[in-house]
Amino acid sequence: MLACRVILFLAWTLHGSISCINLSPCSLLHGASTNMDVHVLSSRVLRPGDPNSAPSKAPLTVFDRFASNIYIAVLFAFSPPTPPNDALIAGLSKTLLLFPTLAGRLDDSRRLRRPCLIVGGCGGGALVVEAAASSNLSDHLPLEVSPDFQLLHPSPASAVHVFQVQLNRFACGGLIIGATAHHRVADGQSMSIFFTAWAQTVRGAFVDRPPVYDQSWLKPRCPPHCEFNHWGLEFTPLNSSSVNQIDVDPSEITNMLIRYSADFIQKLRRKAEGKYTTFETLIGHLWRKITVARRLEDRVQTMVRVSVNGRTRLKPPVPNEFFGNLVLNAYPQATAKDLIDEGLPGAAMMIHEAIRRVDDRYIQSFIDFGELYGDEELVPVYDVDGNVLSPMLEVDSWLRFRFEDVDFGGGGALRAFLPTWVPFEGLVMVLPGFGEDGGIDVFVTLLEEHAKMLRQISHSLD
């Protein structure tokens, strides 16, 4: 899911510190200079609204509780000229009035019947950090995936705020915005609405897609009825006594950014007989290549957890502006041998059919599950994974979220948009490309030995 398993092992703190970064090449896209010094200058907490107002409690929905108990971190890089920090911060303060949950605080203490988000009052707020770099942004473009990306955004390790942002200002006036948001407050669709609204507010434009908080679409049936088994797929079974975790030292895990040109994507679609979407085709291709790179034995069952936005699948559909979490997974699976033998058309078909099964009926069953078991301590399957998913993959697409349309004004251009470094194996994220011909960028995390093989075969049409 933007449920992506972005588990961040961070130990540094921002307050009163000076941090230095050395970016080193770790991707398939080769950047320019690798020396970037970033100095943290200040931090503050924005608390929009009346601090004397009485706080309100909003219980987390079953979709919120399905989301991983982690922060998702993303980076936006803008070439100069860009608006000054004061304008960005003032715009953020105004935007948070429309998105109060991003300035709330999570309360999942056992004394509560159900975990909730506390909004309003004197607590909560959003953390804003200002930082400066002595170099020009152009010295570091295109950005290469690096563990040091973690220094471009506030650390989630000791976070007390559900939304944090760091404004990294370069000598040329360029800007990298590094932001982290707690996944149980919002999914990728929701955060795209927020970032677009923030940019519009800074430009002085009308916010054309304000958030929707109405949860009437998520009401359980009367009586609630689970037509599908959600234990084991979405949440760990209540009677589960053992957890199958695989952990390695994070240094053994590599992140890479693979670029697929628009022309190559068309070749893939022709090879898949043109029957499936670009996303289904590309993920089918990557699923097969990663299976080969991992050297999985023929009989090993491999599965892909594919994030599916439930907004348009419910009947009636939920507006895309619904703010919160409304994502479930599809689960295509096959033995390694069958996946390879059936070729790209077969892999794309398995993904297509699995996504199709996440329909209104399935989502309503999940809503009813939340009504029946909501008072239990629900633990999503993500929270019991180790940091190695193999032989599984977890896939998320950001292609339809319009992150690439975020424009704070000033005349500069968005030059890069990507997640931070992820010390977790088995993640695939599909991103809009920033090459001259468009195309698609794919962020992949694998063990280093498997990443070496994938680099060799990622563009093979076999």
Per-residue pLDDT tens over the stretch 55-98? 899 999 999 999 988 999 999 999 999 999 999 999 999 999 99
DSSP, res 231: B
pLDDT at 237 (0 to 100): 82
Q: In this predicted model, what pLDDT tens digit does every residue of 184-212 receive, in sequence order?
A: 999 999 999 999 999 999 999 999 999 99
Q: In this predicted model, what pLDDT tens digit does every residue of 250-286 receive, in sequence order?
A: 999 999 999 999 999 999 999 999 899 999 999 999 9
pLDDT at 122 (0 to 100): 77
- CB within 8 A of 34, min separation 6: which ones? 22, 23, 24, 25, 140, 144
pLDDT at 35 (0 to 100): 64
Are 393 and 304 in contact by the 8 Å Cβ rule? The answer is yes
Average pLDDT, the chain: 89
| Higher pLDDT among residues 368 and 36, named by residue | 368
Separation of alpha carbons 146 and 71, rounded Å: 18
Instruction: Label residues 324-342 b or e (16+ Cβ within 10 Å = b).
Output: bbbbbbbebebbbebbbeb
Nearest 5°: the CA angle 283, 285, 291 is: 95
Strands (E), 90-221: 105-107, 116-119, 126-133, 163-169, 175-182
Single-letter residue type at 301: Q
- For domain 231-400+421-457, the CATH architecture is 2-Layer Sandwich (3.30)
Around Cβ 252, how many Cβ atoms within 10 Å?
A: 14
Length of the chain measured in residues: 462
Are 455 and 448 in contact by the 8 Å Cβ rule? The answer is no
Angle at which helices 448-457 and 278-293 pack, to 10 degrees? 120
Which of 124, 130, 10, 142 shows the shortest CA–CA distance to 70?
10
In the block, residue with structure tokens 């200079």: 33
- Location of each CATH 3.30.559.10 domain in the chain: 21-217, 231-400+421-457
Q: Is 407 a catalytic residue?
A: yes
Around Cβ 414, how many Cβ atoms within 10 Å?
A: 18
Q: In this predicted model, what pLDDT tens digit does every residue of 136-147 receive, in sequence order?
A: 999 888 888 888
Which of 272, 284, 268 shows the shortest CA–CA distance to 345?
272
Fold topology of 21-217: Chloramphenicol Acetyltransferase (3.30.559)
Are 62 and 184 in contact by the 8 Å Cβ rule? The answer is no
* Per annotation, catalytic residue among 183, 285, 352, 450: 183
Separation of alpha carbons 194 and 186, rounded Å: 10
pLDDT at 109 (0 to 100): 72
Separation of alpha carbons 185 and 200, rounded Å: 22
Around Cβ 130, how many Cβ atoms within 10 Å?
A: 19
User: pLDDT-derived band of residue 239, with 50, 70 and 90 as boundaries?
Assistant: low
Q: In this predicted model, what pLDDT tens digit does every residue of 336-387 receive, in sequence order?
A: 999 999 999 999 999 999 999 999 999 999 999 999 999 988 999 988 889 9
Question: Among the listed ranges 45-49, 217-221, 401-405, which one has the minimum average pLDDT value?
Answer: 401-405
Which of 8, 11, 38, 10 shows the shortest CA–CA distance to 22?
38
